[in-house]
Amino acid sequence: MMMAGRDLGFDIGTQVGAEAWLRELQHGPLPQSIPLPPAATSFRPDPAAARAKKNRRKAERKARKKNR
């Protein structure tokens, strides 16, 4: 992120330049040189798989209780 500010002409080596770059980042859209992270919706697990995993855990817990 700081390299992008330097590439855009901000003097990142000084406190004033770094603060100016951070203010610019807060008040405007991100430059193209700073990639955005992938969307959170792309990591959403399959509901059927999550339910099967939960049922498997519950069955394992129940089996452990029977073995006591």
- How sure is the predictor about 42, in pLDDT bands with cuts at 50, 70 and 90? low
DSSP output for 11-45 = -TTSHHHHHHHHHHHHHSPPPTTSPPPPPGGGGPP
When pLDDT is averaged across residues 9-16 and rounded to a whole number, the result is 88
The domain of 12 spans: 2-66
pTM over 0.75: no
| Res 40 pLDDT > 60 | no
Count Cβ atoms below 10 Å from residue 1 Cβ, excluding itself: 12
Q: Report, in angstroms and rounded to the nearest whole number, the Rg of the chain calculated over CA atoms.
A: 24
Tally the domains of the chain.
1
- Tokens 């992270």 identify what position? 37
Whole-number mean pLDDT of the chain?
82
Burial of 61 (0-12, 13-18, 19+ CB in 10 A): exposed
| Res 55 pLDDT > 90 | yes
